[in-house]
Amino acid sequence: MQHRDVLMAKLAEPVSVHWPEYLMEAAGLGLFMISAAVVTAAFEYPHSPLHDLFPDPTVRRILIGLAMGLTAIGLIYSPWGKRSGAHLNPAVTMTFFRLGKIRGGDAFWYVLSQFMGETIGLWLAAQIPGLAIEHPAVNYVVTVPGLGGRVVAFAAEVMISFGLMLVVLVVSNRPSLNRWTGFFAGLLVATYIAVEAPLSGMSMNPARTFASALSAHLWTDYWLYLIAPLSGMLLAAECYVRTHGIHQILCAKLHHHNNSRCIFHCRYIA
């Protein structure tokens, strides 16, 4: 009983001080999911004018990737993203927790906020008249393994998650490059959607897949999207630490070249 009380106290303690960052993370994920639903429906819904304008599925996927990459960039550089750190992904938050840059209580609330934000965002998108995200061609933008099966999907999710986190760590931990972290991350999101999506649906994000699975009632291989992104990002963190040292991890913010407060274990020198 005593241990449980101590744990609850540790979880509740940061809420009174850091709740704005938690809400910003939730809002960021909600907006990302709304964007994903709207953009995907605009290009993939069979009766959409854009679907007829771009009949080639590869071209449509590239355009969706560009739109989502720009969405990610916009969120990272928004006032909310600058303050919360713009993790926008439970796997990112847990990787920074493993690196010692975020407290346990903050990590817990970030992850909870991210799952809630994605779920609420997709629910709001489903209320938009005429969007038809429930149509089988869109199907709540679910992520499921492609024709290669779950083994290929798992490997692909590990690889893209590894790549994203490694780039984030390399760029964000260099003060001279930190301001460009969002552009590198957005470019990777766009590229992954265009190239990797046929293999796994391009999730990289357990909360993003959860929101779609919940709405579509389609939990096909959901375990894959829980384990693979986190595994890939933790592997990237391990590689970075082994080559650069843990002391080179400056902060858990993707973009630190701003005047917003930082709630992390920060060693960043502007």
- Return the pLDDT at 82: 93
Helix or strand holding residue 14 (H, E): none
Asked whether 21 and 112 are in contact (CB, 8 A), the reply is no
Mind spelling out the 3-state secondary structure of 186-243? HHHHHHHHHHCHHHHCCCCCHHHHHHHHHHHCCCCCHHHHHHHHHHHHHHHHHHHHHH
Judge whether residue 27 has pLDDT over 80.
yes
Least confidently predicted of 23-37, 79-93, 174-188, 249-263: 249-263
Asked whether 208 and 88 are in contact (CB, 8 A), the reply is no
Mean pLDDT calculated for residue range 84-88 = 95
Mean pLDDT calculated for residue range 109-131 = 92
- Return the pLDDT at 269: 61
- Return the pLDDT at 255: 85
Q: Cα–Cα distance between 101 and 185 in angstroms, integer?
A: 19
- Using alpha carbons, select from 236, 263, 269, 256 the residue that is nearest to residue 91: 236
Q: What mean pLDDT, rounded, does the chain reach?
A: 92
- Return the pLDDT at 12: 67
The residue among 238 and 9 whose pLDDT is bigger is 238
Q: Cα–Cα distance between 112 and 76 in angstroms, integer?
A: 19
Helix or strand holding residue 245 (H, E): none
Count CB-CB contacts under 10 A for residue 217.
8
- Return the pLDDT at 17: 78
- Return the pLDDT at 5: 55
pLDDT 10s digits, 178-189: 899 999 999 999
pLDDT 10s digits, 175-225: 889 899 999 999 999 999 999 999 999 999 999 999 999 999 999 999 999
What domains can be seen in the chain, in order of their start residue?
Answer: 17-248 (1.20.1080.10)
Model pTM? 0.93
Judge whether residue 2 has pLDDT over 80.
no
- Return the pLDDT at 14: 75
- Return the pLDDT at 4: 66
Quick one: DSSP state of residue 255?
A: -
CB neighbour list of residue 116: distance below 8 Å, 6 or more residues apart? 26
Judge whether residue 129 has pLDDT over 90.
no
Residue type (1 letter), 246:
I
